[in-house]
Amino acid sequence: MEKSKALGAWVKTFFRVFLETLPLFGLIFIINPILIVFSTSEPASEYQTSFAILSLACVCACVLTALPISFFSNKYRRIAIAFLRSLFLISFIVTIFYPEGGRQLDGVAAANHSFFYYCVLYFFYIISVSFFTILFFRGNVVLRNIYVTFAILGFVSISYYYYTFQNTINSENQTYYFDKFNLSFASDRNIVVILADMLQGSTLEQYFMMNPKEQNNFQGFTLFSRATSPFPYTNYGAPALFSGNMYSSSSNKSSVQARKDAETSSFLTDAISSGFDNTVIGLSCIKAHENQISYVPATPEEKALTLFSLSIQRMIKKSVHILGFDPQMMLLVGYKKTSKDIMERLAVAPIGKSKNKILFFHSMVPHAPLVFRRKYLKSMPLFLKPLEWNVENYWDEMGFFVGQVTRLLDHMKRIGIYDNALIIVTGDHGHFIGEQDDLYKYPGTEDFDGIQKGPWARTAAMYNAAILIKPPLMRDSLQISRVASSTLGLRPLIKRYLTDKTSDLLKDFEILGKNKVVVFKDKIKSNPYEVVDDHVVLEFTGNVSSLPEEFVKNISKYNDISYKIGMKITDIGEYLVGPWIRDNDHAWLKGRPAKLVIRPSGVEKKIYKLQMVLKGLLNNKHRVQRVRLWLNDKELGMLSIKKRKKNMVELEIPMDLLVNDSINEFKFEPLDAISPKEINAWTTTVPLSIFLYSFQILEARKQ
């Protein structure tokens, strides 16, 4: 009798503690993941099984937490319950009312705040949780009522979002790719469009220069290696490519609306209205067509783990790597593997019953991270994981992608549909592989400074989408063109093919006059990957090589680069454009030309001198650093710093070319940059030249 009473009392205690754990773990495993899913553009149906796994994990976490606490003495059990309540209260406030600290939840890279920021943040967490734990332990009625209110709100949120979630799932009509899905070509006219995510023009040109024999596989193709994408990312870039318009035609300019517009008006609908059958295969997050075949990149278990990781990230405001793995990279690896499998299917697809057909495929193989090696074309390893981020691996994966496209083209030649087909392989935007200068520095590409950065921290390379086009009946050798062209021109090109079989499709493909690109404001207030509130449209003439100059021209519109003659500037970061490496308020000049841009006031018709405090990267192995200096395209002379006991120097450069209340560009061209590692200075491998501490423009004394 006593045992049964004791057991009954323990069961009541256990269930009470179990209920106390539900708000906290419900927030972690259910509420946050649901909010994350609804903040992305992927359909909810992809996560149905994942949420079942998360729900089970939530119950298990509650049980495993409640079980030991239920055996505590009354005092320590009250302390544990008070701690759980305070942890939920703080976490609820932080994640619901301040989710922006974990930026990865909305598709933006995770926030990388300073060490001081995290110290302050976690100190606040510790103090707040400790304070509220004491109040809960003492039975504070007001605080207990607040906790109960928030807990009820949490359960109401779960119910509401679950209801909305189920309705969203039930309303979706999504077809998913699987191995037995029928892929085939048409017997007469084929339009094949491969959207190779992140395929960049200048690097594809370099690859063909490095591997000239592979050009023979692309008979009839023209590579537009300096083409421009209006966006440096997919959410807007892909719909713009489909529709031929930068934004939605409606007043709603969101990326969701842009995708909806692309469903109803694009080169796909143009082909369908011309009597073409269609097969559309792509990522479910990029809905190009209402009957699109989507592919799922990861298992439900992997997606559940990713959502859990991002949920924790919302709470601690820092990217989470569970058991040493990055959940976002895992998803991307899954996308790339599925893309590889589909491309292999296409390379053996037969001719079907259709007479005319448009086939669209969104391939993620060229997208970061680096995963594939060229040797994988012959033998694929059992497991795939990201490779080291370097130039050699980049070319290896580029070789894998080019090899896959070559297999597809060879297959189309074998089955007799190559000559009459219009084939397009295009990026939706370009690529940028960190500080790997070698990707953008090789003979013949002096026009394109791919790593040049603008005031919005976007590189020109990110706008450089590759466009490969083979018109029907073309068998000439591969041509490489650098004319001004844009992904926005692909829809008009396909329209021309649909209406006139004999037209010269490549004639006037280049965009005459001005190109357009979108950059982000420095201080964004909303997610620029989904809405246009913080977009800035830049217009420029020429191909993508002209874009870095446009960054410089527009820096004064959005950054304060005003400068009063005589003022000494030590915080120089806001005036720098190009390949500088910031070091607190100062900067190292890397091994490529860079600029210092100012808008001076107080300039009269006098002679001025530029006074700079700097040092060179010097030691006994490297005894001189020379830098050629230009002002507004006029050469001022050569700076030369030689090995001395005192490396820090003040240089004065006379000049009379300053323009008052206008943009003035100082260009630094390093001639003796060297890697610190090469001269045993420190371990940095990036070539460096001079270190700029400060600058000042003074009136020159009369001689």
Q: Identify whether the C-beta of residue 440 lies closer than 8 Å to the C-beta of residue 451.
A: yes
464 and 594, same domain (yes or no): no
350 and 493, same domain (yes or no): yes
- For residue 394, the model assigns a pLDDT of 94
In this prediction, residue 44 has a pLDDT band, given cuts at 50, 70 and 90, of low
Neighbours of 263 (CB within 10 A): 18
In this prediction, residue 556 has a pLDDT band, given cuts at 50, 70 and 90, of low
Q: Does residue 242 belong to any structural domain of this protein?
A: yes
In which order are the strands placed within the sheet that holds 467-470?
175-176, 293-295, 277-283, 356-363, 189-196, 422-426, 467-470, 222-224, 479-481
Higher-pLDDT residue of 443 and 377 is 377
According to DSSP, the residues that pair with 162 across neighbouring strands are: none
- For residue 160, the model assigns a pLDDT of 56
Across 106-115, 140-149, 326-335, the highest mean pLDDT is recorded for 326-335
Assess whether pLDDT exceeds 50 at residue 332: yes
* Token pair recorded at residue 68: 């030991």
259 and 386, same domain (yes or no): yes
Give the pLDDT confidence of 187-242 residue by residue, as tens digits. 999 999 999 999 999 999 999 999 999 999 999 999 999 999 999 999 999 999 99
In this prediction, residue 172 has a pLDDT band, given cuts at 50, 70 and 90, of very low
In this prediction, residue 288 has a pLDDT band, given cuts at 50, 70 and 90, of confident
252 and 200, same domain (yes or no): yes
Q: Of the candidates 141, 171, 201, which is a domain's last residue?
A: 171
Least confident of 135-144, 174-183, 559-568: 174-183
Q: Does residue 22 belong to any structural domain of this protein?
A: yes
In terms of DSSP bridges, do strands 422-426 and 467-470 run parallel, antiparallel, or are they unpaired?
Answer: antiparallel
In this prediction, residue 104 has a pLDDT band, given cuts at 50, 70 and 90, of very low
Instruction: Give the C-alpha separation, 204 to 482, whole Å.
Output: 12
Q: Of the candidates 484, 510, 536, which is a domain's last residue?
A: 510
Higher-pLDDT residue of 696 and 584 is 696
Higher-pLDDT residue of 121 and 559 is 121
In this prediction, residue 156 has a pLDDT band, given cuts at 50, 70 and 90, of low
Q: Identify whether the C-beta of residue 266 lies closer than 8 Å to the C-beta of residue 491.
A: yes
152 and 238, same domain (yes or no): no
Residue 20: name the closest of 88, 74, 100 by CA.
88
Q: Does residue 531 belong to any structural domain of this protein?
A: no
Residue type, 454: G
Assess whether pLDDT exceeds 50 at residue 105: no
Residue 490 sits at φ, ψ, to 5 deg, of -70, -40
Residue 627 burial by Cβ neighbours in a 10 Å radius (0-12, 13-18, 19+): buried
In this prediction, residue 103 has a pLDDT band, given cuts at 50, 70 and 90, of very low
- For residue 96, the model assigns a pLDDT of 72
Least confident of 158-167, 215-224, 329-338: 158-167
Q: DSSP state, 486?
A: B
According to DSSP, the residues that pair with 666 across neighbouring strands are: 596, 631
- Mean per-residue pLDDT for 573-602? 85
Higher-pLDDT residue of 522 and 630 is 630
- Mean per-residue pLDDT for 366-373? 92
255 and 143, same domain (yes or no): no
- Mean per-residue pLDDT for 110-132? 73
- Mean per-residue pLDDT for 288-299? 70
- For residue 128, the model assigns a pLDDT of 80
403 and 492, same domain (yes or no): yes
Residue type, 307: L
- Mean per-residue pLDDT for 576-602? 85
- For residue 114, the model assigns a pLDDT of 63
∠ CA 587-591-593 to the nearest 5 degrees?
80
Q: Does residue 583 belong to any structural domain of this protein?
A: yes
Task: Express as a percent the part of the chain with pLDDT over 70.
Answer: 83
Residue 128 burial by Cβ neighbours in a 10 Å radius (0-12, 13-18, 19+): middle
- CATH number, residue 692: 2.60.120.260
The total number of structural domains that make up the chain: 3
135 and 204, same domain (yes or no): no
Q: Does residue 134 belong to any structural domain of this protein?
A: yes
- For residue 454, the model assigns a pLDDT of 54
In this prediction, residue 127 has a pLDDT band, given cuts at 50, 70 and 90, of confident
End-to-end CA distance of the chain: 111
In terms of DSSP bridges, do strands 479-481 and 222-224 run parallel, antiparallel, or are they unpaired?
Answer: parallel
Which distant-in-sequence residues (6+ apart) come within 8 Å of 568 by Cβ?
694, 695, 696
- Mean per-residue pLDDT for 469-476? 92
185 and 85, same domain (yes or no): no
- For residue 430, the model assigns a pLDDT of 92
- Mean per-residue pLDDT for 374-389? 87
Q: Does residue 59 belong to any structural domain of this protein?
A: yes
Residue 366 sits at φ, ψ, to 5 deg, of -75, -5
Q: Does residue 497 belong to any structural domain of this protein?
A: yes
Instruction: Give the C-alpha separation, 565 to 601, whole Å.
Output: 6
- Mean per-residue pLDDT for 18-36? 85
Higher-pLDDT residue of 427 and 622 is 427
- For residue 155, the model assigns a pLDDT of 63
- Mean per-residue pLDDT for 91-111? 56
Parent domain of 70? 2-171
338 and 230, same domain (yes or no): yes
Beta strand spans in 138-197 (E): 175-176, 189-196
**Sign of the four-CA dihedral 687, 691, 697, 700:** negative
- CATH number, residue 272: 3.40.720.10
In terms of DSSP bridges, do strands 594-601 and 562-564 run parallel, antiparallel, or are they unpaired?
Answer: parallel
609 and 666, same domain (yes or no): yes
In this prediction, residue 450 has a pLDDT band, given cuts at 50, 70 and 90, of confident
- For residue 154, the model assigns a pLDDT of 61
Residue 30 burial by Cβ neighbours in a 10 Å radius (0-12, 13-18, 19+): buried
Q: Of the candidates 130, 148, 171, which is a domain's last residue?
A: 171
In this prediction, residue 169 has a pLDDT band, given cuts at 50, 70 and 90, of very low
In this prediction, residue 16 has a pLDDT band, given cuts at 50, 70 and 90, of confident
Assess whether pLDDT exceeds 70 at residue 176: no
Give the pLDDT confidence of 254-282 residue by residue, as tens digits. 888 898 889 899 999 999 999 999 998 88
Average pLDDT across the chain, whole number:
83
- Mean per-residue pLDDT for 662-690? 88
496 and 573, same domain (yes or no): no
Q: Does residue 653 belong to any structural domain of this protein?
A: yes
Instruction: Give the C-alpha separation, 592 to 589, whole Å.
Output: 8
